[in-house]
Structure 1
């Protein structure tokens, strides 16, 4: 099975009041294509740091991150930006949609940034909106959408450039139980059907049965519990 996201011996520290604090300590993770992994842990355990490193937003102090078989360790800022645009789909706690762009325009912007030709972009937008049940909302602005609809648009935006890896940071935090389950079910389906590696940081235990594995971030490392 191909692993589209690999973290090898990741270590990260930061200074807290003049004291060096280790947040991640030789952390290892391999996520197979088609797999959705949940990562849990108490506040301050390093979940946000872990996700930032996995998404090539933060350089670790030690170790290596591989995205779709490619190491990001020796990349410059422009190369990292290109990797994030083409290989990683980010989904955040808040949908973070651009308020003055309609649903279709949110996706068109991502296509333009990725230099996708117009015909391919139009086909991809139609495909995603159909898949996520949003075609009837393509001309709506974010303030006219429900919370669940906004998160579905965020998922469509994350999938627009067909990334190898999906990273979600508390995607159900602002949703009720039913909508939260729908969003995570959608993430799991997209990972499995499109062969992506997906990682979701969450506190929401209700969605754990939808995940292939549940890992806990403790003492700087990831521990799997059955």
Structure 2
């Protein structure tokens, strides 16, 4: 089974009042295709830093990040942008939909940026909206959607360019309990069906049964815990 995401000896330090503070300390993680991994930890433990490095948004002080076996470290901004567009999908806690675009247009925009044809974009958008149970909402603007619907649109948008890896940052934070479970169940289902590797940062232990493995990040170290 392929590891679509690998982090090797990831370290992140910064200067704090004349001292070097270590946020991530030689952190290692491999996420196989079809696997959803949860990362938990107290506030300030470095979860956002970890996710930013794994997603190519932040350079580590040391170590290597591999997506589909290729290192993303040391790439220029344009190459990283292309990599994020084609190989990574991001789901944020507040969906981050564009307010003036309809649901279908949110998805089409992502595919157009990647250079897909209009016909291919439309077919892919229709397929994903059907899977997410959103076909009847394709012409709705974000303000007309419920919180759960907005997050389902965000999942569809993240999957639009068939990325290798999905990153979810507190995807249930703005939802009630039942909607939060529904959203994570949807993410887990798509990860399994489409053989993605996925990492979800969360504080919500109710969603852990949907995850294949659970890690805790504390004092710069990542420790696996039983699901």
TM-score norm. by structure 1 comes to: 0.99
Please show how residues 1-226 of structure 1 align to structure 2 within 5 Å: 1-226=1-226
Q: CA deviation at 1:118?
A: 1.1
Q: What whole-Å deviation, never above 9, does each CA across 1:170-199 have from its counterpart, x for those lacking one?
A: 000000111100110011111111000000
RMSD: 0.7
Distance across 2 between alignment mates of 1:68 and 1:90: 17
DSSP 3-state at the match of 1:94:
coil
Q: CA deviation at 1:17?
A: 3.1
Distance across 1 between alignment mates of 2:221 and 2:89: 24
Q: Which runs of 4+ in 1 moved over 3 A?
A: none
Distance across 2 between alignment mates of 1:48 and 1:14: 15
Q: What whole-Å deviation, never above 9, does each CA across 1:90-120 have from its counterpart, x for those lacking one?
A: 0001111000000011111101111011111
Distance across 2 between alignment mates of 1:46 and 1:124: 35
Distance across 1 between alignment mates of 2:120 and 2:138: 17
Distance across 2 between alignment mates of 1:188 and 1:16: 39
Aligned residues: 226
Q: CA deviation at 1:19?
A: 2.6
Distance across 2 between alignment mates of 1:223 and 1:129: 36
DSSP 3-state at the match of 2:222:
strand
Q: Which consecutive residues of structure 2, in runs of 5 or more, have no partner in the other structure? A: none
Larger mean CA deviation between 66-75 and 131-140 belongs to 66-75
Q: CA deviation at 1:16?
A: 2.5
Q: CA deviation at 1:20?
A: 1.7
DSSP 3-state at the match of 2:94:
coil
Q: CA deviation at 1:221?
A: 1.7
